[in-house]
Structure 1
């Protein structure tokens, strides 16, 4: 069983890596062409709202409600009943989405006022953000249907196509920046049209795979269907439960709109770097582990359920902890190497570096949430993650108000980090307290070995990296030194793990696994 999980995770991770790399290319291009100014702040707010929705749906939230029901059909129902459920779900969802999209386009001025009230003091910036949001908001319609199709494919063990689909968002936005922006009076608006076009392309990309499975939806109105009602009832709290981090980031954008010009952009570029390892491992693990946990719950196999969670949490600790420390210690070198060109200067690197360090400290918590929430939603318990999510959001609001004055935009990032750890700890302690998750006996020694290896790696990074010298190097020098530094850190970490006795079997699900 562990081999299949590892294979599926590797597929999702590799496809996601392609998308994330393209995302870096996209952001480097944006920094080069548009820089950091009031117009980019307006776009990032207009983009943050549909991108927030993309993360809710495309990165697993929709699947939290849909996949467990599909698992029940696969375990107990007929193929005809499954197809009818898919058809009615598709038709109901599509109509509700059309209404929501129309409402969002009409209410764009109110949404910008809600999510970036600081823009009201800059009339031109506010109007530009409203104009771009009206173009980008229909992405909600397309990306939710993309997530619906992806959930069907994932439930059938087809992970590659859904994981690769997000790359088209980056391709469309890159194309818009290069070819469309020079043709417009306000070049930044081209990026909004790139987002709109990406939604159409992503949906079309999923359709052939559904035809091959013989599960292409034939939309029917099915709101009265009790199973469809159950899915929608599960869907709203499930979306909220897995989206707490994104809600907190959105609130951070609201607060940043009151700060100095460029604050929203500095937070955006910081978040993008954190999203790279989070997408490659955290999202991949959440995507792969949910169908397995749902199957284990449907089969009433508590031991397999705990072993699957054990595997996911061990992998998060093994990769997430060094990624957290590495991003924190290499914050400015990474930003300098990737974005310090033309319009994005050394001052922008320093300012974005402060928020990146604060965000990076929360990377481990962000990854843990991706694995822990399916421990509840796979059992069709969407209420518990919602309850803890509310605690996290309240904590985030309070921490933002406390930290934004002394730390400015970095305080916003730190508030997101601290509230994420609160959410992760509440989820973990509840799984343990209710004996839903019963960890293996090897955990204490495993944790000690991982912590020791990370201490060795972090010591190297702390003493080896000279940030001030780094910022003065040429682009080629920065790229070469970053490659050498990251490669050496990975080698040191790997050798440390081996010397401390960590082996692949310690992360697997084999019954013979030992510390």
Structure 2
């Protein structure tokens, strides 16, 4: 099945990046701890990444990929699609440069407004953010070239590119392990260098695919105007989500020293299934859904989304429950040590155990939104995003004062489900996507298998409780026992209960290492 193969390619290579990211975070926790310098770096790293999600992964992909795919499969073919890409690049690149320059100038008051930092901490956070912010230009251009390659069903380079950023940051930690301000500066420089490496990889991959874009004079051509009409609502919608991220940062920096670090490490574990499953599915199905919608085949488009939802839940349900039940053993084994103490691990684990409860919903949103984007409807997700933002702000104000970082994590999980439910309700009402009986039955059986797995994990954790208070080796062995035990219970049960198509599950479990695309 093409969806399985595409998702496996993207998810497998994303997993390589996530493993490198974990190595980076494991070393970072020990070198930087939960210090105020670590908090300042995480603010500096979070800001360009927030704008990256706004301009690159969110709005740009939503607007560019369907329009590029239409031209690619239209009468003009490759030449028309390439010409469209050049026109968009001519306008997109100067806009990014101008945006970055403006923020470099106003960085100090901007960081102050977001973080509330003062004096030495504000000065360091401002310096670090100025060093990391050029990453926005580089990674947004990476999104353009990734969109081209994904439309050509060449997923490898784009999926592997994030690993280069992680390797660059890991190198900074290895060669500058002194901690404090010095290591924070080295990490910030490595972020921008990682962006250079990523862009270089994507340019080389496009060249191998026969796509070499020429620089043109910026001009509002009909194609660019069409792109802008689609992308502006998507930008506004993504902007709502990123405002929510800024609000999270606002509260985290005021909860107290270490909160940014605790949330970062918890979110790193939460992002593993999000990246491997959610982003991979969203990237894989958008071109397919767009193609079926363009060919006036709504039933086939809905079937692709149904298959994606089944696959999402097959992998997400056990991931979410395993992370929730085993939060402290995982955090302790991965991050505790050096300047990161037991108390830090406990607060990080609490944050993780709550935030992952919204994981299935977040991944399902990645499956649902292509149903809107493929029809060039970016306005509806904007309206939903505004509603979700309001709910997030209200919940933050209600839950953070009494519960601290646990309240913030709860608000994120609750609003992830709110977003998912509203988007599905709209698609259902329009007749674009509905949960059919076969899908509901399989998800119900997956839930039974996941519940049995969670019970097994509780038993394993109780049996090996002493291991998670011992050496790093004992803690890692305990984590391996939890992971292995969970898989040994869940996947056989899913197979026996019929929680998924058995042939598709065979494809997943083979872990094929040979990909059809090596571009």
Which TM-score tier does this pair reach, normalised by the shorter chain? over 0.9
The one-character-per-residue Cα deviations of 1:106-151 (angstroms, maximum 9, x if unpaired) are 121122123212x13xx11111000111111111111100100000
Return the offset for 1:237: 2.8
Q: Is the 8 A contact 2:263 2:348 kept in 1?
A: yes
Determine the structure 1 residue equivalent to 2:96.
Answer: 97
Determine the structure 2 residue equivalent to 1:511.
Answer: none
Determine the structure 2 residue equivalent to 1:443.
Answer: 439
Determine the structure 2 residue equivalent to 1:374.
Answer: 370
Query: Is 1:238 the counterpart of 2:234 in the alignment?
Result: yes
Secondary structure, in 3 states, of the residue corresponding to 1:113?
helix
1:183 to 1:316, Cα distance in 2 relative to 1, 3 A: closer
Query: Is 1:215 the counterpart of 2:211 in the alignment?
Result: yes
CA distance in 2 between counterparts of 1:96 and 1:277 reads: 33
Determine the structure 1 residue equivalent to 2:80.
Answer: 81
Determine the structure 2 residue equivalent to 1:143.
Answer: 139
Which is further off, 238-247 or 129-138? 238-247
Determine the structure 2 residue equivalent to 1:499.
Answer: 496
Q: Is the 8 A contact 2:67 2:227 kept in 1?
A: yes
CA distance in 2 between counterparts of 1:505 and 1:32 reads: 43
Return the offset for 1:82: 2.1
Match of 2:156 among 155, 160, 163: 160
Determine the structure 1 residue equivalent to 2:25.
Answer: 27
Return the offset for 1:57: 5.0
Q: Is the 8 A contact 2:131 2:188 kept in 1?
A: yes
Secondary structure, in 3 states, of the residue corresponding to 2:254?
coil
Q: Is the 8 A contact 2:20 2:167 kept in 1?
A: yes
1:240 to 1:357, Cα distance in 2 relative to 1, 3 A: farther
Match of 1:226 among 222, 225, 236: 222
Secondary structure, in 3 states, of the residue corresponding to 2:182?
coil
Determine the structure 1 residue equivalent to 2:305.
Answer: 309
CA distance in 2 between counterparts of 1:460 and 1:247 reads: 40
Q: Is the 8 A contact 2:37 2:181 kept in 1?
A: no
1:202 to 1:293, Cα distance in 2 relative to 1, 3 A: same
Which is further off, 466-475 or 106-115? 466-475
Which is further off, 422-431 or 204-213? 204-213
Match of 2:323 among 321, 327, 343: 327
Query: Is 1:384 the counterpart of 2:377 in the alignment?
Result: no
CA distance in 1 between counterparts of 2:75 and 2:113 reads: 45
Match of 1:169 among 165, 168, 188: 165
Q: Is the 8 A contact 2:35 2:257 kept in 1?
A: yes
Secondary structure, in 3 states, of the residue corresponding to 2:376?
coil
CA distance in 1 between counterparts of 2:338 and 2:176 reads: 20
1:213 to 1:410, Cα distance in 2 relative to 1, 3 A: same
CA distance in 2 between counterparts of 1:13 and 1:90 reads: 28
CA distance in 2 between counterparts of 1:497 and 1:11 reads: 23
Secondary structure, in 3 states, of the residue corresponding to 1:269?
helix
Determine the structure 2 residue equivalent to 1:45.
Answer: 43
Secondary structure, in 3 states, of the residue corresponding to 2:73?
helix
CA distance in 2 between counterparts of 1:322 and 1:499 reads: 16
Return the offset for 1:245: 5.3
CA distance in 1 between counterparts of 2:187 and 2:83 reads: 39
Return the offset for 1:279: 0.4
CA distance in 1 between counterparts of 2:350 and 2:226 reads: 44
Q: Is the 8 A contact 1:400 1:412 kept in 2?
A: yes
Q: CA RMSD in A?
A: 1.9
1:160 to 1:325, Cα distance in 2 relative to 1, 3 A: same
The one-character-per-residue Cα deviations of 1:11-33 (angstroms, maximum 9, x if unpaired) are 00011000000000000111111
CA distance in 1 between counterparts of 2:503 and 2:250 reads: 43
CA distance in 2 between counterparts of 1:268 and 1:183 reads: 17
Q: Is the 8 A contact 2:168 2:193 kept in 1?
A: yes
CA distance in 2 between counterparts of 1:244 and 1:334 reads: 32
Query: Is 1:254 the counterpart of 2:226 in the alignment?
Result: no
The one-character-per-residue Cα deviations of 1:339-375 (angstroms, maximum 9, x if unpaired) are 0111111100111111111111111111111111111
1:97 to 1:245, Cα distance in 2 relative to 1, 3 A: closer
CA distance in 2 between counterparts of 1:442 and 1:76 reads: 35
User: Which consecutive segments of 4 or more residues in structure 1 shift more than 6 A?
Assistant: none
Which is further off, 106-115 or 142-151? 106-115
Secondary structure, in 3 states, of the residue corresponding to 1:253?
helix
Unaligned runs of 5+ in 1: 509-515
Q: Is the 8 A contact 2:104 2:130 kept in 1?
A: yes
Which is further off, 155-164 or 491-500? 491-500
Q: Is the 8 A contact 2:68 2:85 kept in 1?
A: no
CA distance in 2 between counterparts of 1:107 and 1:136 reads: 15
CA distance in 2 between counterparts of 1:260 and 1:65 reads: 39
CA distance in 2 between counterparts of 1:507 and 1:212 reads: 31
Return the offset for 1:81: 2.5
List aligned pairs for 1:102-501, cutoff 5 A: 102-117=101-116, 119-120=117-118, 123-180=119-176, 186-241=182-237, 247-466=243-462, 469-501=466-498
